[in-house]
Amino acid sequence: MRHVHSVISIESRPNGFAVQRGAVAMHHTPLYERHVARGARLVEFAGWEMPLQFKGIIAEHRAVRSAAGLFDVSHMGQLFVRGPQAAEFLARMATWDLARLAAGECRYCHILDEQGRILDDVIAFRLAADELLLVPNAATTVRIEAWLAAHIDDFDATLENRSAELACLALQGPDAPRLLQEGLGLAVEPFRVEHHGELLVSGTGYTGGAGCEIIVPAADAPPLWEALLARGAVPCGLGARDTLRLERGMLLSGSDFDGSQTPLEASCEWVVDWEHDFIGRDALLAQREAGGYAVLQGVQLEQRGVPRPGCAVFHAGERVGTLTSGTLSPSLGTGIGLAYLSLTPGAEVAVEVRGKHLSGRVVRPPFQ
Amino acid sequence: MSSIPEELLYAETHEWVREREDGTLLVGITDHAQAALSDVVYVELPSVGDSFEAGQGFAVAESVKAASDIYAPVAGTVVEVNSQLEEAPELVNESPYELGWIAAFQPAGTPEGLLDAAGYCKAIA
């Protein structure tokens, strides 16, 4: 779960229509040439030039909900932690007690600072008793690597950043298990991870449906990408990745949390295992005790319109928050978004979309 | 290659204009513009009776990822809007020059500064 920037708050104003790109040199995944050859529309995301869409966001979104879509998510990080105390070390660094993960299990959790604020959301994979893999977001991989390195000395463990040499493909949708079986002869259960030579396949994703993520050495990515497309998977870009995750209320690093919110504020107490010691725990306990903080909630519009990140949210005539994510849900046909609010589900709100107040309600994601 | 019908006039901001028999002007966005916008999911229409200067934004086309103003290619008053777009905004993508028209204007004067098909073709080359 997670990742993707709201890429893409590209406001194509005056006679725009142009995708804006940064002036600095951008990173490319091992599939970049394939994407260009396939005519993908590219976008800058966290320093990477990535496909925003191939045929179109709506068609790609629907393919993932009804069949199978394939995403290049090679921009995401891969940090390996090894050694006798690898699991103890990561348990100290994460909101979940990763020492309790059995080999072959994965877990979504958060990495916090001492004040309990989310530095990033990650998936931890326990590959063996003495080896774990942490997958942070693209924009935060270097920061998380440095954060881990700053704390690892007290443990008998080593850290290796293999992000540059590995690629990751996300095969998502109800047909994903069949394509994985037909294409690679593999099967994987949700939140399990399996090693097959140099290939890692896990029952994880960021779309809220069935599917898997496949981590491979960079050189193996292009043939795997083409083989899965040849089986019928639809190539998908970051645009659909964003609408898919938002429908299911999954957080976007850098947008739905930006370094100043705790997991309690992000409505993610479920990622916290209070029974273990971790960095940020004391601050979280104090916050839980004190209460009185706004929490991340869903907002669903009842009037037509497209809410965007940054739109103001009103309740009873007062401005009460700001959307951290927002889009038109391709599955539901309604505007949906997330905002930190001191309101309960069912409360009536209005979202200001380009000067107009559109009525909606606070809801608990997933949106339906 | 995007389609650029010979019989229409164009604004550099990617709107097309078709003169109707009664002298009113039908306005929409070009094939090139709809392709650049990608999936249109919402069109904010003007109201009949609204007046606009040439070059003023009169409608907004929203795709999943962007909102784009649509500019009045001529000065005038809106006499009709394509209310079908409220339920089916995708018509802008599927039929930009026919079913996906946006509004009809009673022009305030003679249109100025518009391009013919060849001129628009050059402008987007």
CA pair distance A236, A64, nearest whole angstrom: 9
Burial class (CB in 10 A: 0-12, 13-18, 19+), A346: exposed
**Which CATH number is A32-76+164-247 given?**
3.30.1360.120
Complex prediction ipTM: 0.85
Residue A22 has pLDDT above 90, yes or no: no
- Average pLDDT over every residue of A34-51: 96
CA A335 to chain centroid = 20
CATH superfamily name and code, A79-161? Aminomethyltransferase beta-barrel domains (3.30.70.1400)
Out of A7, A10, A304, closest to residue B42 by CB: A304
Residue B7 has pLDDT above 60, yes or no: yes
pLDDT digits (tens, 9 = 90+) for A261-308: 999 999 999 999 999 999 999 999 999 999 999 999 999 999 999 999
Q: Which of residues 7-36 of B touch A (CB under 8 A)?
A: 12-14, 33, 36
Q: How confident is the model at residue B110 (pLDDT cuts 50, 70, 90)?
A: confident
State the CATH architecture for A294-363.
Beta Barrel (2.40)
Bridge-based pairing of strands A131-135 and A79-82 is: antiparallel
- For residue B64, which residues of chain A lie inside 8 Å, CB to CB? 57-58, 239, 243, 306, 327-328, 330
Out of B64, B68, B69, closest to residue A328 by CB: B64
Domains present along chain B, CATH in parentheses: 9-123 (2.40.50.100)
* Residue A75: predicted pLDDT: 97
**Mutation test of the interface with chain A: which of B34, B65, B90, B94, choosing the one with the most A Cβ atoms within 10 A?**
B65
* Residue B65: predicted pLDDT: 85
Contact A361, A302 (CB under 8 A): yes
Contact B68 A12 (CB under 8 A): yes
- Same topology, domains A79-161 and A294-363? Answer is no
- Mean pLDDT of all residues belonging to chain B: 95
Contact A306 B42 (CB under 8 A): yes
Where are the domains positioned within chain A?
32-76+164-247, 79-161, 294-363
Cβ of residue B121 closer than 8 Å to a chain A Cβ: no
Q: How confident is the model at residue A24 (pLDDT cuts 50, 70, 90)?
A: low
Out of A15, A16, A239, closest to residue B64 by CB: A239
pLDDT digits (tens, 9 = 90+) for A188-245: 999 999 999 999 999 999 999 999 999 999 999 999 999 999 999 999 999 999 999 9
- For residue A330, which residues of chain B lie inside 8 Å, CB to CB? 41, 64
- Average pLDDT over every residue of A137-162: 97
Cβ-based interface (< 8 Å): residues of A facing B? 7-18, 41, 52-53, 56-59, 239, 243, 304-306, 308, 327-328, 330, 354
